[in-house]
Chain A
Amino acid sequence: MTRKQRRLILIGSSLGVLAIAVALILSALRQSIVFFNSPSDIVEQHVASGARVRMGGLVKPGSVARGADLRITFAVTDGKSDIPVAYQGIVPDLFREGQGVVVEGRMANGLFQADTVLAKHDERYMPREVVDALKKSGRWQEREGTQK
């Protein structure tokens, strides 16, 4: 084998692996990305039933109701729209009324069936998505956003 042939094999196999990787990335992106929405987005854009989405906002005060078998329902609000959420399982430590939350799941008949509930990690700041959702609906005061 000449040097040139060897180099061709090397370049060819590199491009082959790269092509496989690109194909994998593209197909995975089509299948598995999740869009983020505020409650208003969901109301206004009529997110398709069954599509997997993330939604962020505040847990509406007074909306949390717990049922049997660790079922919990609450409303997520961005001040303009509220979306009722149902979840079964254990909610994070920092899940509280009036606090920021991000839920992931699907919309079904006006009810958001969440399979994941994320609260913030630290009481000092909100998930950035929640801040942006609140800013969009005009409910965000910079004072709340300060870190100190």
Chain B
Amino acid sequence: MIPELGHYSLVLALALALIQSVAPLIGARANDSALMRLSNSTALMQFAFVALAFGALAACYLTSDFSVANVYENSHSRMPTIYKFTSTWGNHEGSMLLWVLILSLFGALVAAFGLNLPATLKANVLAVQAWVASAFYLFILFTSNPFLRLADAPFEGRDLNPVLQDPGLAIHPPLLYLGYVGFSIAFSFAIAALIEGRIDAAWARFVRPWTLAAWMALTVGIAMGSYWAYYELGWGGWWFWDPVENASLMPWLAGTALLHSAVVMEKRNALKVWTILLAILTFSLSLIGTFLVRSGVLTSVHAFANDPTRGIFILGILVLFIGGALALFAWRAPLLKQGGLFAPVSREGALVFNNLFLTTACATVLVGTLYPLALEALTGEKISVGAPFFNLTFGPLFIPLLAAMPFGPLLAWKRGDLYGAAQRLMAAAGIALVAIAVTYVAEGGDVTLAPFGIGLALFVMGGALTDLVERTGVFRLPFPAALGRAAGLPRSVWGTAVAHFGIGLTLLGIVSETHWAAERIVALKPEQSVVIRHYQLTFDGIIPREGPNYREQAAKFTVRSGGEVVGVMMPSKRTFMARGSTTTETALMTHGLGQLYLSLGDFNADGSIAVRIYQKPLVLLIWLGAVVMMLGGALSLSDRRLRVGAPKPAGRKPALAPAE
């Protein structure tokens, strides 16, 4: 009964989405406010029905209802409850349901909180949102129905892919989807603006919070995925330039560019056409990401099962939306009036520089990701494009971007003073040069990229602080005055500085991990020790353990530093009974910002076991930097400017409260 209820809810959501695809558009044309307002109710009810459908599937998982094919395929009655819940989206069908759940959530949020939007804009935005939703509801109902029943309900399920039985599954996909799908709002706003043929600074002000929220979620979502891959896959790597990773990186790059160009549009009424195009491209890249990951064209952890009809269906959606949006853009964009003028050296100029390099870097990632697919489709030749390609293309494009980043916030709007900005960055540059010199000497004069990378990271961080120092006048003014200024600074200024600082942190972590990670791969017998850096690890023996749905061989290691025991690490191999498959569980020991990383290999006949050990200084900065970036985004989001005209707290309530 429950799965049928879920299925039916989804059909109802589709019906509502179809109404919402048309009615508000007619309303906006005919200036019929009742028709336009209809979209509010349909958006909220759509979310309610999709939430019901999602809840129904989750209920099937939580109760281990193996009469549902999807649950049988991906669950096991003995899994811990948390994994039973998260396996709701640990499969193709369920993850698409999560996708539309978040899509309808954003639609409902616009309906509920977009009270200050002009009526026609809001109606058009919700209509476009409904087009996207309809396409994906149809996709789920026709090719990926999660509610299909089995004729004979099996007694036990086939268990979730062991790699996914991890808390990471609870965090990474929802955050990533919040980011991916959140960009649909920017897309809908862009299409709505093109339909209306009118766009102004207020438009940018409406779009920016949504884009910022999506960007924050995507930033942390990518970082979380990276950390998950780092500890789950057992190779000690945190980024593999795998196509599915690129699929999430591309919308992030385009979305970052969009955030910056929207600032120019909001403040200076310039770059309008470009911002519209970026909004379209960002969501298009999210769709391409969904296609790459969900269609089965790629072999990866993320490809749950390949069914060609799904690939073709998503490809159809892709062509329809990207092609349609770009055609509409080509047709209507000339109507949009060009805005303010600016000199090449100015805040606007710096943001254009940012956009230029971000989008170009994004394009190289796109080429590297799609080229092998295109080549295989055209010639049948199979190639793989890996890390070396991206290091040679993405790297050189990102370095000038990072080096220029500190200058941007120091330049004035319209016409900036590059020399003045450079003077103010002397301190940051000085720190960077000292760091380069120190690293160079510490490395024994070895000319690697490490000193340069460290210098760049410190320059980026110093530059972010310089902006704050300059604006608060902390070294020039008496302290209370500086404090007063600091409190008076717009939150978005703090947000910018914090986010830019976060990028510096991530870069520092990356450079440190790349150049100073120590690796040892050894075979150890019980009581044998291995030394890595100043840590001595002694293999004490194997301890068999039982988990709810797996058996585990844990290897106990005592870690000593300077003769003192500093900890015990227990990496293990888990054999999952239902699938008979084995996974490696790494053990991590965090010390400061560095980590000791232990992962098991084969158990050999002579009683020894293969172990992979890494000591990675500052590695946590890679992900902490992303969290700091997100905090920067949050600060910026809390800026009053972005909430101007927002409904007052005690104001009127929306007709329908959003369902939870």
Contact = CB atoms under 8 A, between A and B. Distances in A.
Contact of B306 (A10, A33, A120, A147): A147
B352 interface: yes
A17 B389 contact: no
A129 B163 contact: no
B305 A124 contact: yes
B360 A90 contact: no
Interface stretch (A20-28, A75-83, A105-113): A20-28
Given A32-B386, A36-B382, A121-B300, A25 B610 contact: no
Interface in B353-376: 356-357, 360-361, 363-364, 367-368, 371-372
Contacts of B360: 17-18, 20-21
Interface in A13-53: 13-14, 17-18, 20-21, 24-25, 27-29, 31-36
Contact of B356 (A14, A28, A69, A94): A14
Contacts of A69: 523
A128 B299 contact: yes
Interface residues of B, number: 53
A32 B356 contact: no
Contacts of B306: 125, 128, 147
Contacts of A54: 382, 384
Nearest to B383: A33
A148 interface: yes
Contacts of A14: 356
Interface string B276-292: 00000000000000000
A34 B538 CA distance: 40
A24 B344 contact: no
Interface stretch (B122-130, B214-222, B580-588): B580-588
B602 A90 contact: yes
B326 interface: no
Nearest to A32: B388
B396 interface: yes
Contacts of B599: 90
Contacts of B342: 6
Interface in B142-175: 161, 163
A144 to B, nearest CB: 14
B602 A91 contact: yes
A90 B357 CA distance: 39
A32 B344 contact: no
Contacts of B307: 147
Contact of A17 (B299, B356, B392): B356
B605 to A, nearest CB: 8
A64 B389 CA distance: 33
B422 interface: no
Contacts of A20: 360, 396-397
Contacts of B341: 3, 6
Interface in B506-540: 521-523
Interface residues of A, number: 45
B196 interface: no
Interface in B370-407: 371-372, 381-386, 388-389, 392-393, 396-397
Contacts of A18: 360
A97 interface: no
Contacts of A128: 299, 306
A1 B349 CA distance: 14
B490 interface: no
A70 B521 contact: yes
Contacts of A124: 161, 305
A133 to B, nearest CB: 9
A122 B163 contact: yes
Interface in A66-90: 66, 68-70, 89-90
B577 interface: no
A95 B605 CA distance: 17
Nearest to B72: A148
Contacts of A17: 356-357, 360, 397
A89 B610 CA distance: 8
A24 B384 contact: no
Interface string B337-354: 000011110000000100
B300 A35 contact: no
Given A31-B388, A36-B384, A89-B521, A24 B73 contact: no
Contact of A21 (B381, B397, B604): B397
Given A66-B602, A70-B610, A90-B612, A129 B583 contact: no
A122 to B, nearest CB: 5
A35 B379 CA distance: 13
A54 to B, nearest CB: 6
A32 B392 contact: yes
A17 B397 CA distance: 9
Contact of A25 (B356, B367, B381, B582): B367
Which of B73, B384, B523, B573 has the most chain A CB atoms inside 10 A of its CB? B384
B541 interface: no
Contacts of B305: 124-125, 147
A28 B392 contact: yes
A112 B367 CA distance: 30
A147 B74 CA distance: 12
A142 interface: no
B604 A66 contact: yes
A122 B386 contact: no
A124 B163 CA distance: 13
Of A91, A93, A132, A148, most buried by chain B (CB within 10 Å of CB) is: A93
Nearest to A129: B382
Nearest to A27: B392
B389 A70 contact: no
Given A32-B385, A32-B389, A94 B581 contact: yes
Contacts of B396: 20, 24
B580 A35 contact: no
B597 to A, nearest CB: 13
B593 interface: no
A24 B383 contact: no
Contacts of B643: none
Contact of A91 (B392, B581, B601): B601
Nearest to B576: A123
A9 B392 contact: no
A101 B517 CA distance: 28
14 contacts: A17-B360, A17-B397, A34-B385, A36-B384, A54-B384, A66-B602, A68-B523, A89-B601, A90-B599, A90-B612, A93-B581, A122-B161, A122-B301, A127-B299
Closest 9 CB pairs of A and B: A90-B601, A36-B382, A32-B388, A28-B392, A24-B393, A147-B305, A32-B389, A121-B301, A21-B360
Given A124-B161, A124-B305, 4 more contacts: A32-B385, A33-B389, A34-B386, A128-B306
